[in-house]
Amino acid sequence: MTACQGKKLFISKKIKEIRAALHISQRRLAKLLGYSKSYIANVESGRTTPSSRLLEALQRVCGVSLDWLLAENRILDMINYDKEWKRPYIIYLFAFTEDGLFLIERMVTNLFAERKVLIVDALGVGTRRQLLQKIMRTEGRFPELWREFLRLLTHNEVILIIKNMSLSKIPGHADFIKKIFDIIYTTWRHAEKESGGSKTKKRGSSFILIDYPSFLEKHMQNFGHLVVAVYARPSFIGWEK
């Protein structure tokens, strides 16, 4: 496969994702964008390279960004896609070894070097208070730490990354993950309501878990439907050692 063919197939997959999220047919999307159904079908199949005019129409009509349409990094891809026009969710990056988790952590911290990142390794952490102390990098009682944490999540575009939650000793750790996500989701819905559908709405915070697959499998009933799980091979997400 040539680079050009790969690019066509990459963008075509995203157009299919847009249609699936909006629950519309190729014919309906074609009408909204001002193209024929056959042209949209050819673009989706990878037979036709999407024109810049089509990409601009997708941006204008569907509210997606050109950055998202053209991005080839899966982690950035998911965060931009999710916040630009769909909804937030938990990005679950998993590996099967300790070395694999360490590699994911390095990759993510490099990827978001220019963003505000809160990252913590929950290995051995015994309480929610201790976890918040590690995230916020300060001492304090749980109520005060929690208020500061909420203020940070709800007033900034933060990338929150928690590693090894499965190896923590926090009682009800899966419920705590769900509580944090609920805050991010509620903030997103509030911003969406205030924006009135405007495509300039602030993205809000994002939530990434780095862990073994067993944690997600064990707690699927708690937050599984809110998670996008990715086996984060370096080649899969465009990052190598």
When pLDDT is cut at 50, 70 and 90, the band that residue 5 belongs to is very low
Q: By residue range, what is the domain housing residue 32?
A: 3-62
- Let me know whether 58 and 83 are in one domain: no
What are the distances in angstroms from CA 108 to CA 31, 75, 76, 182, 237? 39, 8, 10, 23, 10
The two three-digit tokens of residue 43, written as one number: 């673009």
- Let me know whether 79 and 139 are in one domain: yes
114 or 85: whose pLDDT is higher? Answer: 114
Q: Which of 98-112, 124-138, 150-164 shows the lowest per-residue confidence on average (mean pLDDT)?
A: 98-112
Q: Which of 85-94, 113-122, 139-148 shows the lowest per-residue confidence on average (mean pLDDT)?
A: 85-94
Instruction: Give pLDDT, residue 81.
Output: 47
- Let me know whether 80 and 57 are in one domain: no
Q: Is the pLDDT of residue 238 over 60?
A: no
- Let me know whether 126 and 98 are in one domain: yes
Q: Which of 52-56, 75-79, 84-88, 225-229 has the highest mean pLDDT?
A: 52-56
The two three-digit tokens of residue 114, written as one number: 């220019």
**pLDDT (tens digit, 9 = 90+) per residue, 167-207?**
999 999 999 999 999 998 888 888 777 766 554 455 678 89
Q: Is residue 122 within 8 Å of residue 167, measured between CB atoms?
A: yes
For residues 16-23, average pLDDT = 81
Is the pTM higher than 0.75?
no
Q: Is residue 100 within 8 Å of residue 216, measured between CB atoms?
A: no
- Let me know whether 35 and 91 are in one domain: no
Q: Is residue 125 within 8 Å of residue 170, measured between CB atoms?
A: yes
Contacts 24+ apart (CB under 8 A), 38-41: 40/15
Whole-number Å distance between alpha carbons of 225 and 175: 14
Instruction: Give pLDDT, residue 241.
Output: 36
Instruction: Give pLDDT, residue 67.
Output: 58
- Let me know whether 119 and 50 are in one domain: no
Q: Is residue 96 within 8 Å of residue 233, measured between CB atoms?
A: no
